[in-house]
Amino acid sequence: MEFLVRFEIAVPDGTPAAEVGAREQAEAAAAARLVADGNLVRLWKTSVGAGETATLGLYRAESEAELQAMLHALPLFSWMHVTTTKLESHANDPLARLDGGRPGKPPLPEPRLSMVYRLEATVGQPLELGEIAQVKRRIVPLTGGTFAGPKITGTLLPGASADWQTILPDATALGDIRYTLKTTSGELLYVRARGVRHGSPDVLARLGRGEDVHADEYVFRTSTQIETGAAALDWLNKGVFVSVGGRSSAGVVYETYLVE
């Protein structure tokens, strides 16, 4: 179920600034957890008067009772005036996936993304194979790193991880990324991702020089497969995953999501 939630926050007079700051930090952390769990989808600010704003949030929950439990757990809830509206699908919704495009047919479930882990990996000196069949071939070793998510954490194993890249004439990079993760409990995960990184010539040139370029300035996406022999993590073998990547002078970051 989806809900539109409207918040107005009124800090009680005389509240110490330190308490306000601490609660705001805790609120940001709580929001990040709701995002990772797939419950918080979007947030907006709207003006309600001179210098005053309200927050609108799009939430997902199995029931209204589950939503209320989430909201009551927010660190700022006692200072909030909250209004919730349950959202229902509309036959004329342009985003609805209707059977055969015919109005009145039930839509298919809308995919949801849930964070699995964020991997921050270091990279070694690239191995330049040179130009082969009018494209450049490059191997970028992944030399270490750590990953963390709501259910799994651990390290990347060097020596069993690298990105086999194909560089097109316009500097677009096609990645065949394979790496091995070890959880803190000792389970091994084999990850293989097929990806593409593209952007404007200027941005790709800056990346090629090893400069730090914000990930919003280019597209770095992968389709990802995860395999493991650990019985407790068998859900990874059955999942469909996508990843968002970012490159920096220090290494590479992958945020991997389960498509539900």
- Radius of gyration from C-alpha coordinates of the chain: 22
In the predicted model, is pLDDT for residue 173 greater than 60? yes
Whether residues 178 and 50 fall in one domain: no
Whether residues 244 and 119 fall in one domain: yes
What confidence score (pLDDT) does residue 96 get?
58
What confidence score (pLDDT) does residue 101 get?
52
What confidence score (pLDDT) does residue 102 get?
54
End-to-end CA distance of the chain: 14
33-68 pLDDT, tens digit each: 888 888 898 889 887 776 677 889 999 988 999 999
Whether residues 83 and 118 fall in one domain: no
Whether residues 126 and 38 fall in one domain: no
**Which domain range does residue 179 map to?**
113-259
CB of 220 closer than 8 Å to CB of 244: yes
Whether residues 124 and 245 fall in one domain: yes
Number of structural domains found in the chain:
2
Alpha helices in the chain (DSSP H): 17-36, 64-72, 201-208
Tell me whether residue 107 is in a domain: no
Tell me the pLDDT of the chain averaged across its residues.
89
Whether residues 9 and 129 fall in one domain: no
In the predicted model, is pLDDT for residue 105 greater than 70? no
Place of tokens 């996406």: 221
Whether residues 120 and 240 fall in one domain: yes
Read off the CATH number of the domain in which 63 is found.
Answer: 3.30.70.1060
